[in-house]
Structure 1
Amino acid sequence: MNDLNKRTLSLTRTFNAPIKLVWQAWTQPEHIAQWWGPKGMKTKVLSHDFNIGGKWEYSMLMPDGNEFIADGVYIEIIEFQKIISSANFKPMTEGVEIQALFEADGDQTNFTFNVVHPTEEYCLQQEKMGFMNGWGSVFDRLKEFVETI
């Protein structure tokens, strides 16, 4: 297997919100619908079985009417620490693993998001396609959500 670091894209954020709130934003369907997806997209939670082996599926509606489906299966869940899942974001990205890592820092939450790709080439292609801007926009929405609810 090739080098994990060369197959992983990461983003970090510090949210001015307690870890319990950030965790709820990630794990409760009514919250997920408020922030998941880049700016300008509306998200519908189609299924959300938040258990190891449970499936999730979200529909993201673009302003132009196109719909993207995101889905995956939960691999590992450690409350207030990490959520690891397989993930597909059709048609742009398929067969990746997403890792949401949470760390309490007083009343703030340090957050790391990793996307592990099957190959270095695919990772590079995803980065060139706008990974940082796309996911950056999602986490800007999450930050705004957790800091204002």
Structure 2
Amino acid sequence: MTKMDDTNNRTLTLKRTFNAPIQLVWEAWTQPEHIANWWGPKGMKTKVIEHNFNVGGTWKYTMEMPDGNEFIAEGEYLEIIELAKICSSANFRPMTEGVEIQAIFEASGDKTNFTFNVVHPTAEYCQQQEKMGFMNGWGSVFDRLHEYMQEVAL
């Protein structure tokens, strides 16, 4: 098995097109005041605890569930290419740990094509995360981002 095949077997991907210019979508991903408005599935409140947006910088958000329990999301920025790509290690405790998230942005006129990859340590862990509801969970997050983009684009 080649390294590329191995990565493909360990990666879950979601794609969206946002009806907003790339600069606005980028700001939503990179500025704490925006992140708090959309990060996390519907029904969760997000608080940005730490956000050092530079390679080697760390981020930490808490997401309060309707029942009062908290999710902790945290990681370290591995790669940042302005208006193009953000890669980070990520832990989403207690559900997911030891993954890499990749947010890829591509301008398409006044819209933004967006690809979100989550690379897992093993193919088995990737399959487990998919069965646990990866597509619905992250799909809900990006639904919130889409709604937020509509609000701030006005």
In structure 2, the partner of 1:8 is 11
TM-score, L = length of structure 1: 0.99
Give the counterpart of 1:79 among 77, 82, 106: 82
In structure 2, the partner of 1:117 is 120
Deviation, structure 1 residue 18: 0.1
Deviation, structure 1 residue 147: 1.7
Root mean square deviation, CA, Å: 0.8
Q: Distance in 2 between matches of 1:104 and 1:30?
A: 23
Deviation, structure 1 residue 148: 1.6
Deviation per residue, 1:24-76 (Å, 9 max, x gap): 00000000000000000000000000000000000000010000100000000
Give runs of ≥4 in structure 1 deviating > 6 Å: none
Gaps spanning 5+ residues in structure 2: where?
none
Deviation, structure 1 residue 96: 0.1
Would you say how many aligned residue pairs link Structure 1 and Structure 2? Answer: 149
Give the counterpart of 1:89 among 89, 92, 95: 92
Q: Distance in 2 between matches of 1:80 and 1:141?
A: 20
SS of 1:98's equivalent in the other structure is: strand
1:90-109 matches, within 5 Å, as 90-109=93-112
Deviation, structure 1 residue 122: 0.1
Letter matched to residue 86 of structure 1: S
Check if 1:32 corresponds to 2:32: no
Letter matched to residue 17 of structure 1: A
Letter matched to residue 28 of structure 1: Q
Deviation, structure 1 residue 84: 0.1
Q: What is the percent sequence identity of the aligned residues?
A: 77
In structure 2, the partner of 1:66 is 69
Check if 1:126 corresponds to 2:129: yes
